[in-house]
Amino acid sequence: MATFTDNAEEKVEAVLRELLSGIEDDDIFEYLGGLCCGCDEIDEDGEGFVDTLLPFLESYGAAEDEDSGKVLALAVFNRLISDGILILKTNKQSSGTSPTVKRVAM
């Protein structure tokens, strides 16, 4: 399970702008930021996040195909984790301890 920090939408939008240079429509970043933060079920491997973002990466020209789209979506996922915007919580985490964070191999 993963959760976004408070007020994450603008931070997600900034990461998307930086990593998705292939998208020329500037308005889409605000939409994608909200879409990403609205992901209800993101597992520790990024599956829910990737599934949400992938169709947009392909349709807006940021990814040439599904494989490159998955790599790009995982790069965004990992960046959000490393920047502290997206927090992963494992099932083994007990209350009172900080969440376990891991990077997903691309």
pLDDT at 97 over 60: no
Nearest to 36 by CA among 80, 6, 72: 80
Q: How many residues does the chain have?
A: 106
Structure tokens at 59: 């349709």
Tokens 């429509």 locate to: 25
Average pLDDT of the residues in 3-13: 90
Q: State pLDDT tens for residues 27-81.
A: 888 899 998 888 878 888 888 899 999 999 888 888 889 999 999 999 999 999 9
pLDDT at 103 over 70: no
Does residue 66 or residue 2 have the better pLDDT? 66
